[in-house]
């Protein structure tokens, strides 16, 4: 993926250059989660910027640093870039203090997203857990904008508690799409919860799939993919038809800083979306 045009004094593209952006909207998703709608300050940068669903940006806060965040917004509208961020680390906690009008920086987009062109015509099963649904939201929107080009769509989403269910209106809207099922589950339900109770892999039993024409897109806690993918394979979906979006410490976004390695892969440039059969042997291992 070519980055937007950036030049240094020496006229060599500088992948480290941070472009200023403004928070145009902040949407509260939960106590510690917000969606930040960003817009590049420089109009030329704004116009040249394109991304694919599943790619990420390095989001920068002055005086604090950068963090890799997937882009959740629609790739058809690259003017505004949505990033859903949970305040868990040094940078994300500082970002949580910001308000509309405040400045952030962006480098990107980086990495390889979901293979949406290659899986045209297929039935799609999307399996997500918690905030892990964020990197796949753009892919779902992409598919529904081209609804006739894809087969049946099944969205299976699991949360720990009903309180953790983000993008509620989006799930409701997706449910209304033709030939689409949306199944939700919560580990710990409350009185308001009228969906399934349990872990997301239990939802597999509630959907009928034609394994030969099905592609699975998975994103969430690593354990969900580690345990979930073999179940899908058990249902007859080939390992080569399962894609997972993975997360590691990332500082450069271009495969140079070395932190995001998983086996032979740099997840920032070979991923974050990886075909399951390529990473299966590394996913199951502690300390790798």
Partner 1 sequence: MNSDARGALLLADLQRLLDALGAKGYRIVGPRVRDGAVVWETVERTADLPIGWRDVQEPGRYRLERSGEDRLFGVVHGPQSLKPFSFAPREPLLTIERSKKSLTAVPTMPKSEKVAVLGARPCDVAGLVMQDRIFLRDAYADPYYQARRNGLFVIAVNCTRALSTCFCASMGSGPQAKAGFDLALTELDTVFLIEAGSPEGREILSALEVKPASQTHIETAESRIGSCAMSQTRRLDTSELPGALYEAQEHARWDDVAARCLACANCTMVCPTCFCHTVEETPDLTGQRAEHARSWDSCFTQEHGYIHGKNIRPTIKDRYRMWLTHKLASWIDQFGTSGCVGCGRCITWCPVGIDLTEELPALLKHSTRTKQKPGHA
Task: Kindly tell me which of 208 and 286 has the beta carbon lying closer to partner 1.
Answer: 286
* 29 counts as binding partner 1 under rule CB under 8 A: no
User: Residue 129 and residue 147: Cα distance in Å, rounded?
Assistant: 24
Among 50, 145, 146, 285, binds partner 1 (CB under 8 A): 285
- Give me the half-sphere count of Cα atoms (radius 13 Å) on the Cβ side of residue 108: 34
> Between residue 101 and residue 160, which ones bind partner 1 under the rule CB under 8 A?
101-103, 105
| DSSP 8-state assignment for residue 18 | P
Q: Which residues contact 133 (CB under 8 A, 6 or more apart)?
A: 157, 166, 167, 219, 220
CB 209 within 8 A of CB 237: yes
Report the alpha-carbon distance of residue 159 to residue 175 in Å, rounded. Answer: 17
By CB under 8 A, name the one of 24, 39, 41, 160 that touches partner 1.
41
CB 248 to partner 1: min, Å: 6
> Nearest to residue 276, comparing CAs of 225, 202, 211?
225
Residue closer to partner 1 by CB (options 96, 257) is 257
Peptide bond into 109 cis (omega under 30): yes
φ, ψ dihedrals at 134, nearest 5°: -55, -50
Q: Is 257 in the site for partner 1 (CB under 8 A)?
A: yes
Please state the closest distance from residue 105 (CB atom) to partner 1, in A. Answer: 6
- Candidates 86-94, 143-151, 179-187, 234-242 — which segment interacts with partner 1 by CB under 8 A? 86-94
| Under rule CB under 8 A, residue 264 binds partner 1 | yes
75 or 105, CB closer to partner 1?
A: 105
Q: Does 89 bind partner 1 (CB under 8 A)?
A: yes
The answer to the question of residue 12 lying near partner 1 (CB under 8 A) is: yes
* The token pair that represents 202 in the structure block: 């239990």
* Contacting range for partner 1; rule: CB under 8 A; set: 15-23, 73-81, 179-187, 235-243: 15-23
x/- track of binding to partner 1 for residues 216-255 (CB under 8 A): -------------------------------xxx-xx-xx
Radius of gyration of the chain, Cα coordinates, nearest whole angstrom = 19
């Amino acid at each position: 993926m070519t980055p937007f045009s950036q030049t240094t004094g020496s006229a060599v593209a500088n992948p480290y250059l941070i472009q200023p952006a403004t928070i145009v909207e902040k949407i509260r998703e939960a106590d510690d989660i917000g969606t930040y709608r960003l817009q590049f300050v420089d109009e030329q940068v704004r116009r040249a910027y394109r991304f694919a669903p599943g790619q990420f940006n390095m989001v920068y806060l002055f005086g604090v640093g950068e963090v890799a965040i997937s882009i959740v917004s629609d790739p058809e509208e690259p003017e505004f870039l949505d990033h859903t961020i949970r305040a868990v680390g040094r940078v994300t906690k500082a970002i949580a203090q910001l308000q509309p009008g405040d400045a952030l920086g962006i480098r990107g987009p980086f990495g390889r997203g979901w293979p949406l062109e290659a899986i045209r015509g297929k039935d799609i099963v999307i399996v997500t857990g918690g905030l892990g649904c964020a990197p796949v939201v753009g892919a779902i929107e992409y598919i529904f904008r081209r609804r006739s080009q894809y087969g049946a769509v099944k969205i299976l989403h699991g949360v720990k508690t009903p309180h953790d269910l983000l993008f509620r209106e989006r799930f409701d809207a997706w449910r209304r799409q033709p030939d689409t099922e949306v199944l939700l589950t919560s580990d710990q339900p409350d009185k308001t919860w009228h969906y399934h109770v349990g872990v997301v892999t239990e939802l597999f039993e509630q959907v009928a799939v034609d394994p030969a024409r099905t592609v699975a897109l998975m994103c969430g806690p690593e354990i969900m993919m580690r345990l979930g993918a073999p179940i899908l394979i058990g249902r007859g979906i080939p390992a080569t038809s399962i894609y997972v979006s993975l997360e590691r410490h990332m500082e450069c976004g271009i495969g140079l800083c070395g932190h995001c390695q998983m086996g032979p892969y740099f997840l920032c440039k070979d991923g974050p979306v990886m075909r399951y059969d390529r990473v299966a042997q590394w996913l199951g291992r502690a300390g790798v």
